[in-house]
Structures are given as C-alpha cells and as structure tokens.
Amino acid sequence: MKLRDLDVIVTAPPVPGWGGRYWILVRVTTDNGITGWGECYASSVGPEAMRHVIKDVFHRHMAGENPENIELMFRRAYSSGFTQRPDLTVMGAFSGLEIACWDILGKARERPVWALLGGMMNDRIRAYTYLYPLPEHDLAAFWTSPDMAAESALAMVDKGYTAVKFDPAGPYTMRGGHMPGMRDISQSVAFCKAIREAVGDRADLLFGTHGQFTTAGAIRLGQALEPYSPLWFEEPIPPDAAEEMAKVARAVRIPVATGERLTTKAEFAPVLRSGAATILQPALGRAGGIWEVKKIAAMAEVYNAQMAPHLYAGPVEWAANVHLAASIPNLLMAETIETPFHDSLIRSTIRVEDGFITPPQTPGLGIDLDEELARAHPWTGDGLHLQMQEEPCDYVNGNDFEGGAPAPRD
C-alpha cells in the first residue's frame, strides 16, 4: 500500500463561523483505493499559499511511501531544507497529512485509530466548550457582557458540560504582551463572578487569554481571578518564552495551560522542563499529528502534567483529538465546538452527549465526511484563519474583544 493522490479542500463555515474563517481539509488516497481525511490547522500564510505548501510536503516527503512509515515521513518533513527544528507552516501541512495516514491505516486494518495507538484508555472523554452567544444574544454586546456569558454558561452546563471557557481580558494584539487595563481586570473578575454564581460547582471555569500579557501583567490579572478558582489560566503570555511563563505559574494559584500555538515535542519540552504549565493544549493539526502528540503526552506523564487537546478548527481535527484522547492515561478533557456545520460535515458520526464524547468504534477516524458539503462552502475572503489587531490596548474606553476571527454579520 502506497500513498498516491492528494486533494486539498478549503471550506468556510457559514455564519456565525465558530471554528475560524476557514478549515483546510486534505484527502489522501492510496494506490489500492483507500481514502484518508486530515485537517491542517491555521497557518501564518493564507489558504491558497498553504495549499501549495501541503502539496509540496506531500509530494516531496510522502507520495509513494507506505502510510505505516509515519516516523520516517515525519523526520523527512521535520528535517527538510537542513532545518531539524520546528517550522509552524511545514508542520501544519504535515500534521493534516499525517492524520489522513492514520485514517487510512485504521480503514485498512478495520480498526479505529485509537486501537492502533495502544488501545482504549478512556471510553468516555470529558468535553469542554467555549462560551458562544445564545440565539437571543446580541453578537456585538455578548463579548463584554458578564450576564450574557453567565446565561450561555448555564445553558451549556444544563446540556451536560462540566467545563466552560471564556476570555474577556482584552485585545488580541500583534504587539506582544501588554499590561492589562484596570477596566479589563475588572471585566475579567466580573465574568468569573457571574459565571461562578450561575453554575456554582457544577462546572469548572477555564480562563483564556491567548498570550496577551507581559509577565507582570499576567500575574496581576491572575491573582485577581484566584478567588473564583478557575481550573486553568490559558497562555497568559506569548508562547515563545517558557521561562517567563514559569514565573507566572509560580506566582498565580491557578494552573497554567498552554500549547495551541506550539508545534512538535521540541517546543513542548521546554514548557515541561521549566514548569511553565501543567496542562498542555496541542492542536493536532499543527503540532505534528497524532503520533507526535502521543509522544508529547508521554513526556507530559513524566512531569505529572495533563493533556487537553485544543480545537478552533473543523471536525476532522476534532476526530483526531478524540482518538488521541481515548488512548492516553493523562487526559484532562478535550475542547469541542458544536455547530450544525461541524455536525453535518461528518454526518453526526461523532457527537457530544451529556458533556462527554464516546470514541467511535468504526474504522479509521470513524467519520463519514460530506465532501459535497465541504466543497459547497468555499472560502472567498482574504483574511487568515485567525488574525491579530494592530491597535494597542485601549486604556481609556476599554476593549471589545471577539478573538482573532470575529463572527461575520449577515
């Protein structure tokens, strides 16, 4: 069995678009006709440029190879061009292709992917969700409204979720870490207070920041949130300084989580060695694929750290997350996004029920991807999957934060 053909589909989730502006899906076919699906997570280049990168990685390092030889293909891509160091764009391309290889291998052996990764460790995976507006909420007002956030949190907990994530702390700025404004600290405290009062002890609070702060600013904000006992303080500073993040971890009595912007074990190892985080959040469509993240999970075991696979993408990466989560002993929870488009794209083959995911028993990733639906929603914009604003923190008027992909308005 050899890898033969590749197709790349860039699909755009319709309004409101949760999961990013577009998803890059890859379909890989073998010489004996088995098809595997993968997903390449957000890249620092646009989808058309990324399409060419994916094709180059496939034809240069993978075409004609046995899909079993994942380690060999990883080393080719990781070392390409005399690098042997993490390259976010190359590894993003490889990750999606690698996921497709596992889908192929599972189908060829008529076994789910988790069975090829050491078997079933977790037959029920705790899911968490980001807080999104309810149908009755105003899209623009939601992101600065503690009351609306609390209503959304209660609705999610009533559905069975035992953890909810939110990030009201300030601008998603390309300027690097900043000192939070007092308005942003007060707003963050108000969100925690309102959500905690709404859900009580039925759910954990997951506080996100997306690397927005300086070390001192993150400590200042984190200490203000401590009375509400969030389960984690996510990426409190930019992800490129593990020793600085470790200073935050030592100063704040909330576990630090990080990893959605990191790729390969080479970038996760310093996080563990420095004590920067005890919860790792790899995105499997960018971190090197399923096998590489399995290695990262094994490293995390040694440091008594847990895994919480990240998702701000489509359901193919989510399926990969689910299989990885099913196979590891140090799982905390897995992120999920429930929209009709996510569900329809894989024809409801994996779902969240009462706040938990049951790993599929069907071969490969266990998804039935609706290729026609994916092609019917092409991306026609010019933005990136996620973008950062150029304007600095507004210390006068406060900050209306919607993350790196604000919802489109009809």
Query: Catalytic residues, which ones?
Result: 210, 310
Q: How far apart, in whole angstroms, are the C-alpha atoms of residue 387 and residue 401?
A: 13
Say how far residue 20 (Cα) sits from the centre of its chain.
11
3-class state of residue 134 by DSSP: coil
Give the list of residues 6+ apart from residue 79 with CB closer than 8 angstroms, or none. none
Residues across the chain: 410
194 and 220 in contact (C-beta within 8 Å)?
Answer: no
Q: How far apart, in whole angstroms, are the C-alpha atoms of residue 94 and residue 107?
A: 20
Run of H or E including 321: helix 315-327
Q: How far apart, in whole angstroms, are the C-alpha atoms of residue 252 and residue 280?
A: 17
C-alpha distances out from residue 6 to 1, 29, 57, 215, Å: 15, 6, 11, 44
Give the list of residues 6+ apart from residue 108 with CB closer than 8 angstroms, or none. 1, 30, 34, 67
Core vs surface per residue 111-133: b (16+ CB within 10 A) or e: bbbbbbbeeeebeebbbbbbbbb
Q: How far apart, in whole angstroms, are the C-alpha atoms of residue 135 and residue 143?
A: 14
**Number of other CB atoms surrounding residue 403 within 10 Å:** 18
For 61-99, give the secondary structure using H, E and C: HCCCCCCCCHHHHHHHHHHCCCCCCCCHHHHHHHHHHHH
Name the nearest CA neighbour of 45 among 54, 34, 58.
54
